Amino acid sequence: MTDSPGIDGAWARARLIATLMAVDPVGLGGLWLRARPGPVRERFLALLSGGPLPEKTLHPGITDTQLFGGVDLAATLSAGTLTHTSGLLAKPAFLRMTMAERCTPGLAARLSRVLDAGQHCVLAIDEGAEAEERPPEALTERLGLFLHLDDMAHSGTDDAPLDHALIEIARARLARAKLDETGERALVELAAHCGIGSFRPPLIAIAAARAIGALFGRIRPLPEDIQLAAELVFAHRATAFEDPAQPAPPPLRDEGPDPEGDPDGARDIETEIPDEILAAAVASALPREVLKMLAEGRGTRRAAGSGAGATRRGNRRGRPLPSRPGKLDGHARIDLVATLRVAAPWQSVRASAAPDRTGLHIRPADIRLKVFAETSDRLLIFAVDASGSAAVARLAEAKGAIELLLSEAYARRDHVALVAFRGTAAELLLPPTRSLVQTKRRLSALPGGGGTPLASGLTTAMQVSITAQKRGMSPTLILLTDGRANIALDGSVNRDQAAGDATKIAKTLRRLGHAALVIDTGNRPQPGLQTLAATLDAPYVPLPRADAHRLSAAISSTLDG
């Protein structure tokens, strides 16, 4: 196989990725596979089977003992002597992790250490439904390749197996494959142009270029091999995109013939690749909306802490975490198996020290308590400006947006609350709820007109947010206003004091760490609202003449990243 590489279609890309994973799984680190269960995913996973490493399956709740080995509790208690068991990582393996979006930072750190040792490979199967549901960055940074299958139709795939004979030849050739200095420099510089700050992706791209070259019969990768490696490794990691301004360095050439007689198609070639060609290759692999965002210079910042709910630790319910040492206080739950595992190695010593005692010898230091990760519900607090001549249209937009967002609340565990400010004060019209019927009833009677007590609206919303946080929710304030505040907290008509009061409340909200989003509904963007958003450390979204659907879409995209 000596043709130049290329990717002709989504399934061809998937097959190429599966082939490269078979050629150099350890060098590439692994694959981040974002795909829901289905026939397309099963067909792709079938391509990955039969690789050079034995396959082992792990899950996000795996324990350290299962990973690295430890005391075999049952064998130790049965035999009366300390017995150890080997873990999944005892020998090099192809580690297939299901539900990778639930991988904890602790597990990611352990797997990262394993990948850095250069003996294992990880397939992270990400089934996350939302953008923020993804494996920890510490793990994905070390997984060289990325593949998204959810948009791929089954009719566009085939069940033809990989050419394992060709893969074995490529693996034998890989040991002698080498990328010269010019190609390495091009990949490092392109990573910088893409906003990639780590050296790991360029190193992985170098390994990918070597694997691609070996697959296509070369021990010295051609420029198209390097271009394809950059596309596969850098596209999903790009956080910025700059057009390279510096001219490419002069090409480096081999000084003499290959010492082995050039049996694998190696020859004197120019590996110089113009930066703009590499940049175009990566840009072509970027999703259209991501490329547009990067070209416009917009960040991906979202309201801090506004995901599906903040994760916290507790000892009563939630997703189990590894147990921790602790004391029994009548509330915590003991992890009996973990406690016995800690105590088992010491039974012989303790029995000798206390021959008059029978049974198990458990010390306070052996106690292990259960720990759970609880995901709190998210509360969206709408603070709506119901003042002025535009109140009727603005309130209609807010009502429609709230109803649209609430219709998705059952799947996303969201609650909503509504604060309206008009006249001289604000009013909590809708306490936190998930009831669509109750919301529509309250919204239908929402009044409008009068002055703009912005500070009072922020104060009322802050009180709702504090109360919700004490109840375990993750609140996010969504402010909809045209920014023309003219009523101070004391009810007086004073624009300067009203703006100053609003700034003070915004600083308090920021100091408390409450997430927020500011939507400017005025006909023109208001500098004062931009300043208020900066004080809140919140995204600012100008939406003049927005209807309910546009408003709902803007809120959802900002909160979900």
Q: HSE-up of 394 (CA within 13 Å, CB side)?
A: 28
Instruction: Give the pairing type, strands 311-314 and 368-375.
Output: antiparallel
Token pair, residue 367, equals: 């106690």
> In the sheet that 425-433 helps form, which strands lie side by side, from edge to edge?
425-433, 414-422, 378-385, 474-481, 515-520, 540-542
* CATH number for domain 163-300, candidates 3.30.420.40, 1.10.8.80, 3.30.310.50, 3.30.470.20: 1.10.8.80
Instruction: Give the pairing type, strands 425-433 and 474-481.
Output: unpaired
CA distance 395 to 393: 6
Amino acid identity for residue 193 in this structure: H
Residues 6+ apart with CB under 8 A from 349: none
* CATH number for domain 378-560, candidates 3.30.1490.20, 3.40.50.620, 3.20.20.80, 3.40.50.410: 3.40.50.410
Residues in the chain: 561
Residue whose C-alpha is closest to residue 10's, from 227, 157, 226: 157
**3-state SS assignment for residue 476:** strand
Per-residue pLDDT of the chain (561 residues; tens, 9 = 90+): 444 455 567 898 899 999 999 999 999 999 999 888 889 999 999 999 888 899 999 988 888 888 888 877 777 777 777 778 888 888 999 999 988 888 888 899 999 999 999 899 999 998 875 556 788 989 999 999 999 887 788 888 988 889 989 999 999 999 899 888 888 888 888 888 778 888 899 999 999 999 999 999 888 988 888 888 888 888 888 776 554 444 444 443 444 444 444 444 444 444 455 555 555 555 555 444 444 444 443 333 344 444 445 555 455 555 677 788 887 766 678 888 888 888 888 888 888 888 888 778 888 888 888 877 655 677 888 888 877 655 566 666 666 766 676 666 545 567 888 888 888 888 888 888 777 666 666 666 666 667 888 899 999 999 999 988 888 788 889 888 877 788 888 888 888 898 899 999 999 998 888 888 888 877 777 888 889 989 998 888 887 665 666 666 666 666 655
Would you call 78 exposed, middle or buried from its count of C-beta atoms within 10 A (0-12, 13-18, 19+)?
exposed
Q: Is the dihedral of CA 51, 54, 58, 63 positive or negative?
A: negative
CA dihedral 53, 54, 55, 61 (to 10 degrees): -100
CA dihedral 481, 487, 488, 489 (to 10 degrees): -80
Q: Please, are residues 383 and 421 in contact by the beta-carbon 8 Å criterion?
A: yes
Instruction: Give the pairing type, strands 425-433 and 414-422.
Output: antiparallel
Query: Which residue bears the tokens 């009523």?
Result: 487
- Angle (CA) 96 121 44, round 5°: 50
Query: Which residue bears the tokens 């190609």?
Result: 183
User: What's the pLDDT score for residue 26?
Assistant: 93
Q: Domain ranges in the chain?
A: 1-162, 163-300, 311-375, 378-560
CA distance 432 to 417: 4
Across the strands, what pairs with 385? 421
Residue 515: in which H helix or E strand, if any?
A: strand 515-520
Amino acid identity for residue 538 in this structure: A
> pTM (2 decimals)?
0.54
CATH code linked to domain 1-162: 3.40.50.300
1-162 and 163-300: same fold? no
Q: Please, are residues 421 and 454 in contact by the beta-carbon 8 Å criterion?
A: yes
**3-state SS assignment for residue 60:** coil
